[in-house]
Amino acid sequence: MRNKEYYADELRKTIKNLMETTWGSVVNSVDIDSWLSQFQENPDVTLDEQLHAMYLLSHFLYFDQASIRELLRAIYRDLFRTPLVHEIRRANLGTLDPNVIEPAFLEKRGKTRFLGVGNPSESGVHLLYYFRQQNELPKDLFINSYEIFKREGEGNSAKTIVRDPTIENYVYLDDLCGSGTQASDYSKDLVFPLKAMNPNAKVFYFVLFATSDGLKAVRDLGCFDRVEAIFELDASFRSLEPGSRIFEPEVAPYFRERVRETCMKYGSNLWPHHPLGYKNGQLLVGFNHNTPDNTLPIFWMDIPSLWLPIFKRYHKEYGP
């Protein structure tokens, strides 16, 4: 086996290439060195925590703003527009005539409302702005969750009804579906009541990224008509589990169990309940606007005087 310098140089080259080609100068060598200095060195390269951290970093999937914008175009084009166009064509004997297709599509789109998952401060809602820009959509197609319903009547006789019963499609957008917890929470408050009041309304849940487990969990809720992601993260994206794509095959000096030990050691201090990411996500994924908590906390946890992140997360405070 070669010395640490050799491996560190190779990894640094890879990280530099990633930065120059896809990460968009989000970090530099100084940031990396500051982050790495929190890990311990070891004369045995297989136990060197800094090499472990660099190895994980060299496999990190970071999506800059341009990439996110492109993915938002893909959501609209591939998950929303194309299926509607197919539906229109089927209803019109397979026509290819744009004079038939386009007006029908615009009519259906006019009976659609796009919503972000979460409250206005969260990433799902944040993405709507870029989603509208990228796809050149009119702003009246976007509503807040509270605008789905309205109260009718007064006093004890007041009841909640669907504000606009002509709306046929409700499209929920989010950046990541990790465990499916958030979609589940929102479906209880919003989707089930909506479906109960307007059984003809279709509700879609579209995300940029989703774990296979997360997608399954949301589909199993049974309230969404379609649940889809642009980029599905299967089990191989759980970086420290057997079958992880970054350790398949294992190549010295990077051994999965040893790297996992390093992540556990620091993760246990940083986020004791979820040392390898929310609900053991173990992801190596970050976005320009935030880093999901399903990603390993060593990358994003920011605790002054205790831990410096490399891809900072703007963590949600849900209150006491």
Partner 1 sequence: MTSKEHVPNPFGATKAVDLDNTQIQALWVDVLNIGEELSQFAHPSTAMPSLVLGAKGSGKTHLMRYHSFDLQLLRYGKDAPDVEVHKGIEKDGYIGIYVLCGSINSSRFKGKGQSDEKWRDVFAYYLELWLTHHLLRVVERLHLGENKEREFCELACELFDRQPWPAPKSVNELSKGIADLQKELDYAVNNSIMTGTLNVEILVTRGKLIFGLPKVLASICEFLSSARFVYSIDEFENLTIEQQQVVNSLIRDKEIPATFRIGARLYGVKTQRTDGAEEENLKDSEYETIPLDRIFRNHKTNYATFARELVAKRLAAARYTAAAAGTLSPSDWKGVFETVDDRWDSKYFRDIAGDSGFKERAHFRSFRAKLSEVGGDELGQLVGLLSATEYPILEKLNLLRFYKHARRRVDYFDIAQRINRECRAFVRTPSDRSQYATALDHYKTDLIAQLHRENGAKQLYLGLDNFILMSAGLPRALLTILRSIFDWSAFNGERPLAGEPVSVDAQYRGVRDASDWFFENMRKASGDGRRIQVATDRLAQLFRANRFADRPADVSMCAFAVPEGAGSQEALEVLRLCEERSFLVRLSARERKDKNTGAPQSVYQISPMLAPRWDLPLGRRGVPVFSREEVDAVFGSSDEGFRTVLESWRDRMKFVSGAGNDESENPQPSLI
Query: Using CB under 8 A as the criterion, which residues of the chain lie in contact with partner 1 when the complex forms?
Result: 3, 5, 9, 12-13, 16, 19-20, 24-31, 64, 286-291, 311-312
For tokens 């914008």, what's the residue?
A: 69
Query: Smaller CB distance to partner 1: residue 79 or 296?
Result: 296
245-256 in b/e form (b: 16+ CB < 10 A) is ebbeeeeebbeb
Q: Closer to partner 1 at the Cβ: 24 or 110?
A: 24
Q: How far is the CB of 284 from partner 1 (least distance, A)?
A: 16
Q: How far is the CB of 305 from partner 1 (least distance, A)?
A: 21
DSSP 41: P
Nearer to partner 1, 34 or 92 (CB): 34
Residue number, 180 or 292, with CB nearest to partner 1: 292
Residue of 37, 30, 57, 43 whose CA lies nearest to 1: 43
What is the H or E stretch that residue 67 is in?
helix 65-74
- For the chain, state the CA radius of gyration: 23
Nearest distance, CB of residue 3 and partner 1, angstroms = 8
Place of tokens 């320009």: 288
CA distances from 191 to 20, 103, 137, 150, 180 (A): 43, 29, 24, 15, 14
Residue among 16 and 132 whose Cβ is closer to partner 1: 16
Helix (H/G/I), strand (E/B), else coil: 281: coil
Shortest Å, Cβ 315 to partner 1: 13
